[in-house]
């Protein structure tokens, strides 16, 4: 079953003073809404601000967005374009069929921890091209190569990310414990992962269990 989470994002023009406050850093705020987070991405001359939640149903996305904007202290909004969308954070069981290869969001490859999908869309597109070449345009071989590459390069990573998202969004006490002790190190590590410099480490379940034992 596909797992789609609701999100809302705005492209916002603000006063010069307010833009200067936010233009040099990317911001993530865990718990900006239940089981989710808020973000601020500075762009050339405006801010991209949004919220997303793993909680489905009637979650009051618009109200949560307004509260987040207030929390950020953005009072002088010159222009605001708001868009709602859904993000697939659970990969499909099959990634090809009937001579069609699924990549990116179509394959459910967004990172479950931060719901970012562009990186894996680009990687899966590259893997699809490699599979076509290595499979010599023979569909059965192309399909075999692509599925193998995708599971090795991306699916193992999204599974690890999903475990981490469970920690961050469903176990606040454990999250607080981990961030209090390893917050800066984890922030730097995740930044490298999202930038493509590093991969998620193996052994995450064992790491989480060790933290859990230390807490109780």
Calpha distance 205→210 (Å, rounded) = 9
Structure tokens at 45: 């001359």
- The mean per-residue pLDDT over the stretch 182-205 comes to 72
- The mean per-residue pLDDT over the stretch 165-174 comes to 81
Query: pLDDT grade, residue 216 (50/70/90)?
Result: very low
Calpha distance 170→179 (Å, rounded) = 15
Calpha distance 2→90 (Å, rounded) = 6
38 - beta bridge partners? 29, 51
Q: Where is pLDDT greater, at 129 or 202?
A: 129
Report whether 74 contacts 14 (CB < 8 A). Answer: yes
Q: List CB contacts of 135: < 8 A, sequence separation 6 or more.
A: 141, 142, 143, 144, 145, 146
pLDDT (tens digit per residue) in 129-142? 999 999 999 999 99
Query: pLDDT grade, residue 208 (50/70/90)?
Result: low
Residue 198, pLDDT > 50, answer yes
Q: Which CATH class is domain 4-88?
A: alpha beta
Query: pLDDT grade, residue 168 (50/70/90)?
Result: confident
pLDDT (tens digit per residue) in 30-77? 888 888 889 999 999 999 999 998 877 778 899 999 999 999 999 999
Measured at the CA of 48, the angle between CA 33 and CA 162, to 5 degrees, comes to: 50
Burial of 45 (0-12, 13-18, 19+ CB in 10 A): exposed
Residue 148: name the closest of 162, 159, 135 by CA.
135
Structure tokens at 63: 């109200």
- Tokens 């990549």 correspond to 103
Residue 213, pLDDT > 60, answer no
pLDDT (tens digit per residue) in 79-119? 999 999 888 888 888 899 889 999 999 999 998 887 888 88
Q: Tell me the CB-side half-sphere exposure of residue 117, using CA atoms within 13 A.
A: 19
Residue 51: name the closest of 107, 108, 88, 10 by CA.
10
Question: Boundaries of CATH 3.30.9.10 in the chain?
Answer: 4-88
Helix (H, G, I), strand (E, B) or coil at 14: strand
pTM score over 0.95: no
Calpha distance 78→13 (Å, rounded) = 5
Q: Which of 8-22, 162-176, 186-200 has the lowest mean pLDDT?
A: 186-200
User: Can you give the pLDDT at residue 122?
Assistant: 94
User: Can you give the pLDDT at residue 209?
Assistant: 60
Residue 200, pLDDT > 50, answer yes
User: Can you give the pLDDT at residue 199?
Assistant: 78
Calpha distance 135→88 (Å, rounded) = 28
């Amino acid at each position: 079953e596909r797992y789609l989470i609701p999100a809302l994002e705005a492209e916002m023009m603000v006063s010069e003073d307010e833009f200067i406050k936010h233009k040099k850093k990317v911001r993530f705020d865990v718990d900006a809404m239940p089981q989710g987070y808020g973000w601020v991405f500075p762009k050339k001359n405006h801010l991209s601000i949004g919220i997303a939640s793993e909680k489905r149903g009637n979650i009051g996305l618009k109200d949560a967005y307004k509260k987040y904007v207030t929390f950020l202290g953005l009072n002088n909004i010159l222009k605001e374009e708001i868009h709602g969308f859904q993000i697939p954070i659970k990969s499909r069981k099959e990634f090809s069929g009937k001579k069609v290869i699924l990549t990116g969001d179509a394959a459910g490859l967004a990172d479950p921890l931060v719901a970012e999908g562009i990186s894996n869309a680009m990687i899966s597109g590259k893997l699809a091209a490699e599979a076509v070449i290595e499979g010599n345009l023979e569909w059965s071989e192309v399909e075999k190569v692509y599925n193998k590459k995708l599971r090795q390069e991306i699916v193992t990573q999204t599974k690890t990310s999903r475990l981490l998202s469970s920690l961050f969004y469903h176990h606040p006490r454990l999250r607080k414990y981990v961030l209090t002790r390893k917050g800066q190190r984890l922030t730097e590590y995740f930044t490298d992962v999202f930038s493509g410099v590093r991969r998620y480490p193996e052994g995450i379940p064992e790491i989480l269990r060790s933290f859990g034992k230390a807490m109780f």
